[in-house]
């Protein structure tokens, strides 16, 4: 069980040893949240939600929240944690966007898994772009900069990069309906 306060919001989160960062909220997630502006009423997707900290915080800030993860244990804990923290959220099990049809998001927040081949974050960025409204934003956090900066810039046409506590926080805005660089796929 994690009991924490993020930006003055108290959270109580049940975790499991098999999930990412089971003993404390991940410092990368905290870095991303420190840079994310979550407006009340915004439609927000917590992509790769784990046990739900990002989505629950967004819901506490008044957002309409969807949480998505491929791990059934993560989905079950995210649902339970949302209920235990008194927020409503739609929690869906899906391998990325493959079994998830919802679109029209104002904000997608993601702390992607760090993998050598970049297949997962490539899918998240390309398909996430298509799920955002025009003017919608994608925020990601990693410890690696170059590939993410290049990929987000190719798809979105630009990206803001901030270094926070040893992490790299990226924010990109969807300014057009199609990828900025048509060869970016």
Q: What are 85-122's pLDDT values in tens digits? A: 999 999 999 999 999 999 999 999 999 987 667 999 99
Q: What is the pLDDT of residues 121-131, one digit of tens each?
A: 999 999 999 99
The predicted model gives 134-151 an average pLDDT of 96
Residue 156 has pLDDT above 80, yes or no: yes
Q: How much of the chain is helix, strand and coil, in % rounded to 5?
A: 30, 30, 40
- Give the pLDDT score at 20: 78
**125: number of Cβ within 10 Å:** 25
Q: CA 80, 81, 85: angle at the middle one, nearest 5?
A: 120
Domain ranges in the chain are 2-173
Q: Give the percent of the chain with pLDDT over 90.
A: 79
Is pLDDT of 55 > 90? yes
Q: Which two tokens stand for residue 117?
A: 């081949």
* Average predicted confidence (pLDDT) for the chain: 93
Query: Rounded to two decimals, what is the model's pTM?
Result: 0.93
CATH class of this structure's domain 2-173: alpha beta
User: Above pLDDT 70, what percent of the chain?
Assistant: 96
């Amino acid at each position: 069980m994690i009991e924490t306060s993020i930006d003055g919001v108290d959270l109580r989160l049940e975790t499991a040893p098999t999930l990412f960062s089971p003993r404390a909220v991940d410092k990368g997630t905290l870095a991303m949240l420190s840079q994310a502006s979550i407006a009340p009423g915004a439609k927000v997707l917590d992509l790769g939600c784990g046990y739900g900290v990002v989505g629950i915080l967004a819901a506490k800030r008044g957002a309409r929240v969807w949480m998505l993860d491929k791990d059934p244990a993560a989905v079950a804990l995210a649902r339970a944690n949302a209920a235990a923290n008194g927020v409503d959220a739609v929690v869906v099990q899906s391998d990325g966007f493959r079994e998830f049809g919802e679109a029209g998001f104002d904000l997608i927040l993601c702390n992607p898994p760090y993998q050598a081949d970049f297949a997962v974050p490539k899918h998240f960025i390309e398909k996430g772009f298509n799920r955002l409204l025009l003017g919608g934003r994608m925020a990601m956090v990693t410890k690696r900069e170059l590939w993410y900066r290049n990929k987000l810039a190719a798809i979105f046409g630009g990206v803001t990069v901030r270094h926070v506590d040893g992490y790299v926080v990226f924010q990109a805005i969807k300014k057009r309906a199609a990828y900025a660089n048509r060869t970016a796929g």
